[in-house]
Structure 1
Amino acid sequence: MSEKTLEGSGKAFLVLLLPISFLIIFLVSTWKFLLALILLLIGFNVWQWHQWQQWCQQVNPIFHRLLQDTQGRVTPMDLAIKGNFSGTIAKRYLDTKASEFGASILNSEDGGPVYYFINATILGSILESSEPAKELPSQSVAQAAPILLAPTLAQPQPEETDAELLPPATHEEVKIPLEKQLVFGSLIQSELAKRLNVYSSTVYKRRNDPDFPEWSRSRDPDGIAWSFSRKSKEFFPLDEDKS
């Protein structure tokens, strides 16, 4: 039994030794070819990376102008149309920039990604739009009573997250007529946010949306639709006759 066991072990060793021997012979005879192939693949990847970096340098000015025009809110379609290239490349470029600058990526209503880039200029624009209104010689808007109007129960409300809704008021609010609020014929971002009973950041995110007038109408206590002017950075009522 002992001799048979040794014989079986020897055969098993030969079965393993033969493939290993063939592999060693193959590597010794073809190592130059394999090394050249590996170097070729590395060189190709380096060349592709270099080409991508050069292309990004050409697209950067377009991307920077688009950021200023859209106040940091960019979609792959916007960049693809502006730069005249495919949406897949535009998305890859935006993913690279989002990782580089720590941008926020949210999904729009149609399911597409929206990239939010915040720089010093855009942040300053947000802060300016949240400043109190200009003062009149006889009366300033800052001296007016608070304008925190809760939406009426009869109006249908769109679904909102808890982070977007303001907490319920702890004191009785004073309702001021719209014509007194519109001292300059318009409202700034913080004033409109109080009127719609949402946070100022919610108005900022939605103000460029196509459905912003209908959304603001659904939250306005008087059912008034509002539109945003990028030039003056103020909000104007579309249906003043309803006030």
Structure 2
Amino acid sequence: MSEKLIEGDGKAFLVLLLPISFLIIFLVSTWKILLAIIVLIIGFNLWQWYQWQQWSQRVNPIFHQMIRENQGRLTPMDLAIRGNFSGTMAKRYLDGKASEFGASLINSEDGGQSYYFITASILGNILDSSEPVKELPAQPVVKTARSLLAPPPPTPREEEPETESLPKPTHEQAKQSLEKQLVFGSLIQSELAKRLNVYSSTVYKRRNDPDFPEWSRSRDPDGIAWTFSEKAKEFFPLDKEG
């Protein structure tokens, strides 16, 4: 009985030994070829990585410009159209940038994806829009000469003897004040919101809309259309009705 067991174990050992022997002989005979194949694969992968890094360096200026233009929000299609390359490459590039800068991935209603990169200027605008201002009465920018020349009515505390009243402004001073009111400068978001009698967040959401000038004109007390400058981050008047 024991002899049969020993004979069976010996046959099983031979069955395992033969494939191992053939494998060792194959490796000894072809190790140079296998090593060359491994070196070629590693070299090809390194070359592809180098090519991708060089391509990414050319795309970086386009990416930075679009981040400023689109307030940090970008889709693979936007980048592919601007850079004139495939959507697959654009998505791979944005995935890498999202991992590098910790961007947020937003799914739209139509099934697309948008990458949202937060910059210092965008964060400042978000914080500004998160503090709504109270509804204030519209303040006209231009005042008439009569209103400038007429002194304000005194309050009960300001009522004093006529001999101690403040001197009235001269004609030259009134003219200079009127000129200052007629020279329109730029306004920041909160200032324009007060002028249009809306919340600051409303101006922030609508400032890049194509119809923003007409919308602001309809709410401006003097019928002035306003436009937003991405470079200056301020609002400038376009014209004045009438």
* TM-score range normalised by the length of the shorter chain: 0.5 to 0.7
Structure 1, unpaired ranges of 5+: 140-180, 194-202, 211-227, 235-243
Cα-Cα RMSD:
3.5
Q: Name 1:88's counterpart in structure 2.
A: 88
Query: 2:193–2:200: 8 Å Cα contact kept in structure 1?
Result: no
The code of the aligned residue for 1:106 comes to I
The code of the aligned residue for 1:184 comes to R
Cα distance in 2 for partners of 1:94, 1:230 equals 28
Query: 2:104–2:115: 8 Å Cα contact kept in structure 1?
Result: yes
Q: Is the alpha carbon distance of 1:46 and 1:183 closer, same or farther for their aligned partners in structure 2, counting shifts above 3 Å?
A: closer
Query: 2:62–2:83: 8 Å Cα contact kept in structure 1?
Result: yes
Query: 1:130–1:188: 8 Å Cα contact kept in structure 2?
Result: no
The code of the aligned residue for 1:78 comes to D
The code of the aligned residue for 2:86 comes to S
Other structure's SS at 2:196 match = coil
- Mapping of 1:17-166 within 5 angstroms? 17-130=17-130
Could you tell me the percent identity over the aligned residues?
70
Q: Is the alpha carbon distance of 1:112 and 1:230 closer, same or farther for their aligned partners in structure 2, counting shifts above 3 Å?
A: farther
| CA positional deviation for 1:88 | 1.0
Cα distance in 1 for partners of 2:12, 2:209 equals 73
The TM-score with structure 2 as length reference comes to: 0.59
The code of the aligned residue for 2:33 comes to F
Q: Name 1:185's counterpart in structure 2.
A: 196
| CA positional deviation for 1:11 | 0.7
Q: Is the alpha carbon distance of 1:70 and 1:209 closer, same or farther for their aligned partners in structure 2, counting shifts above 3 Å?
A: same
Other structure's SS at 1:88 match = helix
Which protein, 1 or 2, shows the higher relative CO under an 8 Å CA cutoff with sep ≥ 6? 2
Structure 2, unpaired ranges of 5+: 140-191, 211-225, 235-242
The code of the aligned residue for 1:39 comes to V
The code of the aligned residue for 1:75 comes to T
Cα distance in 1 for partners of 2:193, 2:74 equals 32
Query: 1:74–1:115: 8 Å Cα contact kept in structure 2?
Result: yes
Q: Is the alpha carbon distance of 1:183 and 1:41 closer, same or farther for their aligned partners in structure 2, counting shifts above 3 Å?
A: closer
The code of the aligned residue for 2:69 comes to D
Q: How many residues align?
A: 164
Q: Is the alpha carbon distance of 1:183 and 1:104 closer, same or farther for their aligned partners in structure 2, counting shifts above 3 Å?
A: closer
The Cα offsets for residues 27-52 of structure 1, whole Å up to 9 and x where unpaired, read as 01111111111111011001100100
Query: 2:107–2:114: 8 Å Cα contact kept in structure 1?
Result: yes
Query: 2:94–2:115: 8 Å Cα contact kept in structure 1?
Result: yes
The TM-score with structure 1 as length reference comes to: 0.58
| CA positional deviation for 1:25 | 0.3
